[in-house]
Chains A and B, each alone.
Chain A
Amino acid sequence: MSTTAEIAPRGLSRRRMRVDGWRWAGRIFLVFMLLYTAVPMIWMLITSIKSGFAAMQFPPQWWPDEPTLASYEKLLDPQNSVGQDFLRFFWNSLFVSTVTTILSVIVAVPAAYAFSRFSFPGRNFLFFAVLLRNMFPAVIFLVPLFILMRLLGLMNTHGSLILTYLTFGLPLAIWLLKGFYDNIPVQLEQAARIDGATRFQAFILIVMPLSTPGIIATAIYSFIGAWNEYIYAYTFLTKNDQLTLPVGIQRFFSENTTDFPGLMAASFMMSVPVVVLFLVLQRYFVRALTEGAVKH
């Protein structure tokens, strides 16, 4: 009698201990992942405020003796040639990414809506054809696109990049948005149409506002993709004043291989816009992935 009464709580506490074990394992794991993620970024920041001389020391100065913002001043100074180049690259990246983002929303919204609502012949085939684009690496398209861009006279223009970026942003954009439209009840539109709205009006006035989070997520995705793209920009652009940031920075630092503080400062500033954008809007992004990708 008394033994069974004793065993039960002991079993329970053992179970609780095991649960605690998992929880502690989880915490330790999270600390490890945080270090893995953050240390490289922190080291980038610390290096970027060193002088060139302080960076080249062994053992390294874990915190610089004389922190300096010289690298940042140099990169952002429109008076000297380094600053001029950097600011121009920055502007080029901003231009290409913004135009790409606007265009991909304009193209993806109607396509996703059609894939969600209409049942035209070939709908599934076209949908998967669009998704399949994600499967193929840039390099497969590089040689022929290189020739195509020369044919179209788009070499060394930002148009060549915008056209190409559009296609690799579109598949995921369409996929995410379709998930959103699938979740918006058709009755809402039907009600609007009974009240005399045209299909287009119902779309603009009812469906668009409801899918705003999806559109924002799509826009972030396109912008980040375009901002970070390297291989096409590296191949299509040769003129120095056309380069986008990733290529520009690479060209520049292949000539100044030892200026690590400058390189880290440039890497940091290149990351700021996308990281800020993402952190501000990540709520929408995670939600869009949940609704678009996972519940599919």
Chain B
Amino acid sequence: MTIVTGKAEARRRLQSGRSGALRKIGEHRADYAYVLPAIAVMLIVIAYPIYYTIELSFFKTPPGLQLRDKTFIGFDNYTAILTSEVFWKVTWNTLIWTLGSTLISFVLGFATALALHRAFIGRGVLRAILIIPWVISAVAASYIWKWIYHSDFGIIGAALVGLGLADRPPNFIDSVSTVLPSLIVVNIWREFPFAMIMMMAGLQTVPEQLLRAAQVDGASAWQRFWHVTFPHLRNVSTVTILLLAVANFNSFIIPWIMTGGGPSNASHIWITHIYELAFGRQRWGVASAYSVLLFLILMTLGYFYVRALSGNERKEGSA
């Protein structure tokens, strides 16, 4: 790279003068004007809610939003949550949901990106079709799949009966044992295109010469993938998996619309459970305590996310 980018300029400036933080802030006050609108919006809609959630989590709240009548109860909300059976059930569901959706979406997306990497007739059209599920609304997706899974008139049930694999259409989303996997299939349907786009973008950065050199040296297709392509994609993969994991951990619409968490909590994940506690049963204090716990888990994930991102920056700096 011979081009001096803004970052290089920034680094140079950083090195030139390191004394007097206040003076530096003063010097750069005009720069803050550019980020101020973004920061202001974020503060109103993020900092305040976080503060308020933490506060509420230590209070017993009456139903309804008469929050003036709340009473301080310390950590009671937290102990109540951690000792309840539902909590562990929901946590287990969330774990399966997040890990299952993330890993399968990533593997399918990555494989699709690899299969689409070589040019062939109709590749553009195929790619466009494969991306569509990611673009359409999750509400629409939920209804489409709810209809597909329908216990009387669903297409999958009918196909299974037609092929002689089942006597009568199975109950996909009304049965405790199949509901979570069935919802994960819907979620993957919506999410693998994202992994696909990210990995397609990543594949373009793998140097063609290296692959050809490896081929000349007699490396098999698998060896070329494992020793040349894959190491180049490590950073993209990390970022993609983290983004998918966070999105899945936070998903709400698919379980909420398709099952509402039922039957008997079998498809409740953290977010739907919190929503039901807050807006269904109006237990604001407990819901807030749940949110704080969630927040702590996400901060841990966020730490890795930032590390993965800044790892990329470091690499770029040294190159």
Interface residues of A (CB under 8 A from B): 15, 18-19, 22-23, 26-27, 29-30, 33-34, 36-41, 43-44, 47, 55-60, 106-108, 110-111, 113-121, 123, 126, 128-148, 150, 163-164, 166-167, 170, 174, 181-183, 185-187, 224, 227-228, 230-231, 235, 245-246, 249-250, 253, 260, 263-264, 267-268, 270-271, 274-275, 278-279, 282, 285-286, 289-290, 293-296
> A47's contact among B13, B45, B147, by CB below 8 Å, is which?
B147
The answer for the CA separation of A121 and B243 in the assembled complex, in Å, is 28
The answer for the CA separation of A128 and B243 in the assembled complex, in Å, is 14
Taking CB atoms, residues of chain A closer than 8 Å to B172 are: none
Taking CB atoms, residues of chain B closer than 8 Å to A150 are: 65
Interface string of B11-49 (1 = CB under 8 A from A): 101100000010011001001111101110110111011
Instruction: Say if the beta carbon of B133 comes within 8 Å of chain A.
Output: yes
The answer for the CA separation of A186 and B42 in the assembled complex, in Å, is 29
Taking CB atoms, residues of chain B closer than 8 Å to A145 are: 45, 49
- The answer to whether A18 and B136 touch across the interface, beta carbons within 8 angstroms, is no
Taking CB atoms, residues of chain B closer than 8 Å to A130 are: 38-39, 42
Instruction: Say if the beta carbon of B220 comes within 8 Å of chain A.
Output: yes
Q: Given the known A-B contacts A118-B31, A147-B67, A295-B205, are A30 and B116 also in contact in the complex, defined by CB atoms under 8 Å?
A: yes
Taking CB atoms, residues of chain A closer than 8 Å to B38 are: 107-108, 110-111, 130, 170, 174
Instruction: Say if the beta carbon of B189 comes within 8 Å of chain A.
Output: yes
- The answer to whether A22 and B158 touch across the interface, beta carbons within 8 angstroms, is no
> A37's contact among B189, B294, B299, by CB below 8 Å, is which?
B189
Q: A119-B14, A121-B28 are in contact. List 10 more A-B contacts (CB 8 A).
A: A30-B112, A38-B129, A40-B144, A110-B34, A114-B32, A135-B246, A147-B65, A166-B45, A230-B138, A235-B279
- The answer to whether B5 and A263 touch across the interface, beta carbons within 8 angstroms, is no
The answer for the CA separation of A227 and B278 in the assembled complex, in Å, is 25
Q: Which of A106, A133, A163, A275: most chain B Cβ within 10 A?
A: A275
Name the interface residues of B153-172: CB closer than 8 Å to any CB of A.
153, 155, 158, 161-162, 169
The answer for the CA separation of A22 and B310 in the assembled complex, in Å, is 36
Closest 10 pairs (CB-CB, A-B) = A137-B250, A114-B34, A144-B49, A119-B10, A120-B28, A26-B115, A228-B137, A267-B140, A111-B38, A144-B52
> B45's contact among A37, A141, A230, A270, by CB below 8 Å, is which?
A141
Taking CB atoms, residues of chain B closer than 8 Å to A114 are: 31-32, 34-35
Taking CB atoms, residues of chain A closer than 8 Å to B312 are: 296
The answer for the CA separation of A149 and B5 in the assembled complex, in Å, is 42
The answer for the CA separation of A234 and B176 in the assembled complex, in Å, is 27
Q: State how many angstroms separate the Cβ of A150 from the closest Cβ of chain B.
A: 8
Can you name the residue of chain A whose Cβ is closest to the Cβ of B194? Answer: A289
Interface residues of B (CB under 8 A from A): 3-7, 9-11, 13-14, 21, 24-25, 28, 31-35, 37-39, 41-42, 44-46, 48-53, 56, 65, 67, 108, 111-112, 114-116, 118, 126, 128-133, 135-141, 143-145, 147-148, 150, 152-153, 155, 158, 161-162, 169, 189, 192-193, 197-198, 200-202, 204-205, 220-222, 236, 239, 243, 246, 249-250, 252-253, 257, 271, 274-275, 278-279, 284, 287-288, 291, 294-295, 298-299, 301-302, 305-306, 309-310, 312-313, 316
Taking CB atoms, residues of chain A closer than 8 Å to B108 are: 33
Taking CB atoms, residues of chain A closer than 8 Å to B155 are: 39, 43, 60
- The answer to whether A143 and B239 touch across the interface, beta carbons within 8 angstroms, is no
Taking CB atoms, residues of chain A closer than 8 Å to B220 are: 15, 18
- The answer to whether B153 and A144 touch across the interface, beta carbons within 8 angstroms, is no
Q: State how many angstroms separate the Cβ of B218 from the closest Cβ of chain A.
A: 8
- The answer to whether A186 and B5 touch across the interface, beta carbons within 8 angstroms, is yes
> B115's contact among A29, A126, A235, by CB below 8 Å, is which?
A29
- The answer to whether A231 and B37 touch across the interface, beta carbons within 8 angstroms, is no
Q: State how many angstroms separate the Cβ of B296 from the closest Cβ of chain A.
A: 11
Q: State how many angstroms separate the Cβ of B173 from the closest Cβ of chain A.
A: 14
The answer for the CA separation of A166 and B287 in the assembled complex, in Å, is 25
Q: State how many angstroms separate the Cβ of B165 from the closest Cβ of chain A.
A: 14
